[in-house]
Amino acid sequence: MTPLQQRPGATAFVQSRLLSESGEVVHAFSSRQGGVSRPPFATLNLGQSVGDDPTLVEENRRRFFAAFGIDSTGIVRAKQVHGNEVLRVDAGLMRRQGFPRCLVEEPAEFDAFITELPDVALVVSTADCLPILIHDPVRGAVAAVHAGWRGTARRIAARAVLAMQAAYGTDPADCRAALGPGIRGCCFEVDAPVMGAMAAALPDWEAQATPTRPGHCRLDLAGVNRAVLEEAGVRPDRIEDAGLCTSCRTDLFFSHRAEKGRTGRMMNFIMLRATSHEPRAASRESRAES
């Protein structure tokens, strides 16, 4: 991952070197720096449902997405419910009246998006949960995933990869995945119900846990999601982790747990460039060399 980037007068964000290598996607994980919101939402709060001044949030969104040449009214989002539903964003969906705002205003609930369409920014919001951005450079498809512990237990990251496979013919081994800032094992103590959910999702989940007291452990959510992606067929060397803890670094990121629920939200997005290649099959030679 690149260090936190900020230009004078602009918002700060983190990017993945792995995703940037192809030159075919635009992406970023936002921070809390570079906006206009006041405490406790200082300063780049991008969430409208947390009690911040809506006009300040709109300005924050405008600033953040404008840094990448994106109109903030055109980003694709939906209600996130810590589930395992994946939305395919295709031309038919884009023709719906009120798109994309209709996805937020209607009762549709999704925690992951996939698309092969250019200039469509897939966005997930976080404030401790793990954002995961995925790119298949062979078929020309992307995914954005919101993975809290419930979504992780339901293997939301693997479901996104499988959805790309079903929709676009994606080979998971071709995918590049970036795990963004989220709460880490240093700060994420969980209880027996969460531990039981992890055991159901991943048989060797305990490799990502550190016991703390009876019935509790510190859980490495990023480690579990990395293992889930690998089980889905993503190559280990094609998974990049930011290694940034939102709970430790409340100077850089919003943390629902560390700030006891009174805080803002980050946004994390991935978008295919309009100039990226048409979907194509990879030869055996190109797969072997990549």
Q: What tens digit of pLDDT does each residue of 55-104 get?
A: 999 999 999 999 999 987 779 998 899 999 999 999 888 888 888 877 77
If you average pLDDT over residues 275-285, what whole number do you get?
42
**Whether the Cβ atoms of residue 114 and residue 141 lie closer than 8 Å to each other:** yes
If you average pLDDT over residues 117-123, what whole number do you get?
95
Residue 260: per-residue pLDDT: 94
If you average pLDDT over residues 114-128, what whole number do you get?
96
DSSP string, 95-123: TSTTTTHHHHHSS-B-SEEEE--BT--EE
pLDDT mean across residues, the chain: 90
% of the chain exceeding 90 in pLDDT: 80
If you average pLDDT over residues 46-61, what whole number do you get?
96
If you average pLDDT over residues 117-129, what whole number do you get?
96
Residue 118: per-residue pLDDT: 95
Peptide bond into 40 cis (omega under 30): yes
Closest CA to 249 of 28, 31, 2, 27: 31
CATH node for 5-184+234-274: 3.60.140.10
Residue tagged 């993503």 (tokens): 234
| pLDDT tens profile 168-210 | 999 999 999 999 999 999 999 999 999 999 998 888 999 999 9
What are the backbone dihedrals phi and psi of residue 232, each rounded to the nearest 5 degrees, phi first? -75, -10
If you average pLDDT over residues 117-127, what whole number do you get?
96
Residue 284: per-residue pLDDT: 29
Rounded to whole angstroms, what are the CA distances from 201 to 144, 158, 255? 20, 11, 25
Residue 281: per-residue pLDDT: 38
Give CA–CA dist 66/70, Å, rounded. 5
Give CA–CA dist 258/186, Å, rounded. 12
Closest CA to 28 of 128, 144, 110: 144
